[in-house]
Each structure stands twice: as structure tokens, then as C-alpha cells.
């Protein structure tokens, strides 16, 4: 195995520059070269730009390209691969890539909170740490990792917790997986075994699965206007341990009765959904009795992606329930 690392880029703040007033950061094609030059070191970096876009516009075909090039690179002997990406949907991309990543070599996702032109830009340090992680012996077999602010996070646990701080990512419930060192990762706890991988790559388009948020005086009335067959599934970001209003229940039962899977996540960052604490109308017990699936520790955006992957595979209802059971809290 060589010490080479494939460095793929989809853009994001890490390769953006600000205007003369230090505002309005936009993609800057020249920023990538400056970023690589700033990292230095004795590791051979093999850069490849796949796109230069905000992460709000990343699509499944972008991730197909990431998987294609990352797999080819490690199969040809690279120690690992790194992907630079905008932070807005970075946790979702990492989670989705991890579902398909089937190599022992690590695939590491990183980005930046400050543009390349900003004082104190965090991109160079994050990329350096991502490269270190890509060649770290302890990272092998851990799947897709997110590296940010000196820490490595497991893809299925990491969540963006700040829209401004350079320490923008955290992991629930056990914290970061490791601290990034110059020679290897310093594991802070033993990772859980990885769940089943999905063969191949994401489809060009996923089945339609909207995400609705429960809350005060929210009865999910929008569902009254969704034509039959228009959605393949639904994810609800429920209050508390995964609850909705009693008035929302007939609407959800209608979907479930029509064979549309409904997954319920928990809005709070910590704790996840329950299966037994509350039995009132709209509680987790009521939702489970109606046929809904609880997302466990998965936050709603990741629950949506997992449901889309499962639906694209043609997973039956019990297969969907089993897959989400991996994240039970």
C-alpha cells in the first residue's frame, strides 16, 4: 500500500472565497490549489475536483461519482480517500456514503466553517487531519469518517450542531470516535460493528420521501393535500421521544393503511426515540400500534435517507423495521 491519498472535492466553504468586504463567500476554483499547497507534508495527494457547489445542491449523482473514484483509487493502492464537502449537508453525505462504502480503506469527509480567504480559515487544518486519518492504521475498517476540528466521528452518529462555530460537529450518544494524531487515531471508545452495506451506488434519483416536523399546533394537515401515490414514504421529526399530536394520527394511519411507510424521529439532539414510555394518543406507543417505525438514535435527515435507500432497494416492511432497529435507543 502506498501513502498516496485521493482527495476528491465537491466544493463547499472550504474552497470558497469572500468579497473585498469579507462577506458573500462564493465558490472559487483557485482556492482548491491553495488549500492543497497549505497542507504540505510527505503524503502524496492526488486531487480530483468533481464539482464546486454548495452542499445544499449535492445530489445522488455526485455521490455516485465519489464512490466510483474513491473505490478505484484504493483498489489501485491508495491508502485511503478524502472528500471535501460543504458542511450544511455533510453529515447526510457521510451517512449515505457509509451505506455504500465497502472497502477496508477509510473514506474521510471534511470541510470548513470559514472560507479559504478568511483570517483563521479552518480548511487547511481540517484537510491535514483528514489526510492523516485516511492513512491511519486504526481507521481501517471503520467505514466513512467525518473529520473536523481535530476529531474523527462515525458517519452514522455525527451531527452538525452549530451554524457558525469551527467546532461545528458532535456525535450522539458517545461523543467523537477519536482524536486525530500525527501518526494514528487515538480512539476514545470502541466503535459499534457496522451494519449491512448496500451493494453498488445510489440511484440517480431516490423515491420521494418528504420530511415533516411535529410541533405546537401542528397536525400535519399538509398530508390532506398529497395525492395518492405521490410519496413513497414519510419521515416525521417528532417532539420529545417521537410524538405527534392526536389530530395527526388519522392522517398517519391513512398513509400506513395505504402501504406508505412512516418513520418517526426525535427532534431533540440527544436520547432518540422511545418504544414504551408514553401511551397517550400520538405517543410512540400509539404510533407503533398504528404501524409506524421509530428512528431510534438516527436524526430525521438521516432517517429520511435510510428510508429512501431501503425503498430504492425494494425492502419490505419488515426489512425497513429491521434496518431501523440497528439504531434503536
Quickly tell me which residue has 393503511 as its cell: 257
Residue 208 is predicted with a pLDDT of: 98
Tell me the pLDDT band of 1, cut-offs 50, 70 and 90.
very low
| HSE of 136, CA atoms in CB hemisphere, 13 A | 29
Task: Write the CATH number of the domain with boundaries 211-325.
Answer: 3.40.50.40
Which one of the listed residues 13, 84, 110, 133 is annotated catalytic? 13
More confident residue, 62 or 27: 62
- If DSSP codes are grouped into helix, strand and coil, which group holds residue 211? strand
> Which pLDDT tens digit goes with each residue over 186-231?
999 988 888 778 889 999 999 999 999 999 999 999 999 999 999 9
- Confidence category of residue 163, pLDDT binned at 50, 70, 90: very high
Is the pLDDT at 31 greater than 90? The verdict is no
Q: Angle 149-84-89 (CA atoms, 0-180°, nearest 5)?
A: 80
pLDDT band at 165 (very low <50, low <70, confident <90, very high): very high
Q: What is the mean pLDDT of the chain?
A: 94
Query: Exposed/middle/buried for 193, CB within 10 Å: 0-12, 13-18, 19+?
Result: exposed
Shared fold status for 5-187 and 211-325 = yes
Query: Quick check: 269 and 234 in contact, CB under 8 A?
Result: no
Sketch the domain layout of the chain as residue ranges: 5-187, 211-325
Give percent of the chain with pLDDT exceeding 70.
99
For residues 61 and 204, the answer to whether their CB atoms sit within 8 Å is yes
pLDDT attached to residue 194: 81
Residue 243 has a pLDDT of 98
Three-state secondary structure call for residue 35:
helix
Between CA 109 and CA 87 the distance in angstroms is 10
CATH domain 5-187 topology: Rossmann fold (3.40.50)
Poorest-pLDDT segment among 18-27, 61-70, 222-231, 244-253:
18-27
Cell numbers found for residue 203: 440511484
Summarised one tens digit per residue, pLDDT across range 258-304 is 999 999 999 998 999 999 999 999 999 999 999 999 999 999 999 99
Active-site residue flag, 273: no
2 pLDDT band, cuts 50/70/90, is low
Q: Give start and end residues of each alpha helix (H) in 204-316.
A: 249-257, 284-290, 300-313
- Of 20-34, 98-112, 133-147, 162-176, the poorest mean pLDDT is in 20-34
Whether the pLDDT of residue 181 is over 90: the answer is yes
Amino acid at each position: 500500500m502506498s501513502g498516496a491519498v485521493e482527495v476528491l472535492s465537491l466544493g463547499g466553504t472550504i474552497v470558497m472565497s469572500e468579497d473585498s468586504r469579507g462577506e458573500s463567500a462564493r465558490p472559487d476554483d483557485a482556492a482548491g490549489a491553495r488549500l492543497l499547497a497549505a497542507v504540505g507534508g510527505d503524503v502524496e495527494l492526488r486531487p480530483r475536483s468533481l464539482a464546486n457547489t454548495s452542499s445544499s445542491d449535492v445530489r445522488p449523482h455526485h455521490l455516485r461519482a465519489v464512490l466510483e473514484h474513491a473505490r478505484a483509487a484504493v483498489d489501485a493502492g491508495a491508502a485511503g480517500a478524502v472528500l471535501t464537502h460543504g458542511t450544511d449537508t455533510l453529515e447526510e453525505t457521510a451517512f449515505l456514503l457509509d451505506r455504500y462504502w465497502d472497502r477496508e480503506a477509510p473514506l474521510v469527509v471534511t470541510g470548513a466553517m470559514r472560507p479559504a480567504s478568511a483570517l483563521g480559515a479552518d480548511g487547511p487544518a481540517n484537510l491535514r487531519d483528514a489526510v492523516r486519518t485516511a492513512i491511519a492504521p486504526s481507521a481501517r475498517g471503520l467505514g466513512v469518517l467525518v473529520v473536523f476540528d481535530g476529531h474523527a466521528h462515525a458517519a452514522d452518529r455525527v451531527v452538525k450542531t452549530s451554524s457558525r462555530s469551527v467546532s461545528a460537529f458532535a456525535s450522539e450518544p458517545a461523543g467523537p470516535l477519536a482524536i486525530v494524531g500525527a501518526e494514528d487515531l487515538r480512539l476514545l471508545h470502541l466503535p459499534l460493528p457496522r451494519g449491512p452495506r448496500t451493494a453498488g451506488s445510489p440511484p440517480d434519483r431516490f423515491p420521494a420521501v418528504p420530511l415533516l416536523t411535529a410541533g405546537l399546533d401542528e397536525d400535519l394537515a399538509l398530508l390532506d393535500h398529497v395525492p395518492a401515490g405521490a410519496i413513497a414514504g414519510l419521515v416525521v421529526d417528532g417532539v420529545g421521544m417521537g410524538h405527534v399530536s392526536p389530530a395527526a394520527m388519522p392522517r398517519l394511519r391513512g398513509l400506513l393503511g395505504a402501504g406508505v411507510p412512516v418513520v418517526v424521529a426525535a427532534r431533540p439532539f440527544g436520547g432518540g426515540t422511545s418504544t414504551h414510555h408514553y401511551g397517550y394518543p400520538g405517543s410512540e406507543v400509539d404510533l407503533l400500534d398504528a404501524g409506524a417505525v421509530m428512528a431510534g438514535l438516527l436524526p430525521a435527515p438521516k432517517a429520511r435517507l435510510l428510508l429512501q435507500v431501503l425503498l430504492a432497494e425494494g425492502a419490505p416492511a419488515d426489512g425497513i423495521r429491521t434496518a431501523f432497529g440497528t439504531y434503536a435507543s
